[in-house]
Amino acid sequence: MKLFGKGTKFYSILKMRCPRCQEGEFFVSTPYNLKKAGDIHEHCPKCDLKYSREPGFYYGAMYVAYALGVALFVTFWASFNLFLPEVSVWWQVGIISFVSIVAAPLNYALSKIIWANLFIRFEKKEEDKVSSSEAVSGS
C-alpha cells in the first residue's frame, strides 16, 4: 500500500488537488495570494465535483486550523527547549509568533483541504479501473 501516491489522502493534501479525482485544482490561487487566500473553485475543473457540500461546510476546518497551529507551536517550543535552551522565553515567543503569522495563509489552506479530504473519497476514473483490472488478469 502506497502512502503518498495518487489515490491517497496525503497526495490530495500535499498537492492541494480535488479529493475525488486528485487532478483538478482545489484552490483558485496559491495560499500566499492574500486577496484570494483560501478561495476554492465552485466545482472541480476535471470531475465537476461540487466542493461546498452545504452552506457552512468549511466551518469545521477551523478545528483543523487550530490543531495545525497548536502542532506548529508545540513543535517550535519543544525544539527550542531541547536544542537551544539558552534562548530566552521572550525570543521564543517572538519567533514562534512570527512563524505562526507567516504560516497562517498556508495553515488556512491546509485546514480546508484536510477538512474536504475527511468527507470526500477518492474515486478512480473508469479508464484507470479498466487498465488496472487488465494488468491483474494478465491481458
Q: How many alpha carbons fall within 13 Å on the CB side of residue 47?
A: 20
Q: Output b/e per residue, 71-96; b: 16+ Cβ within 10 A.
A: ebeeeeeeebeeeeeeeeeeebeeeb
Contact criterion met (CB below 8 Å) for 107 and 115: no
pLDDT, one tens digit per residue, over 73-117 is: 999 999 999 999 999 999 999 999 999 999 999 999 999 999 999
Q: With 60 as the cut, is the pLDDT of residue 134 above it?
A: no
Domain boundaries, the chain: 9-131
Q: How confident is residue 25, by pLDDT bands cut at 50, 70 and 90?
A: very high
pTM: 0.83
For 106, the grid coordinates are 498556508
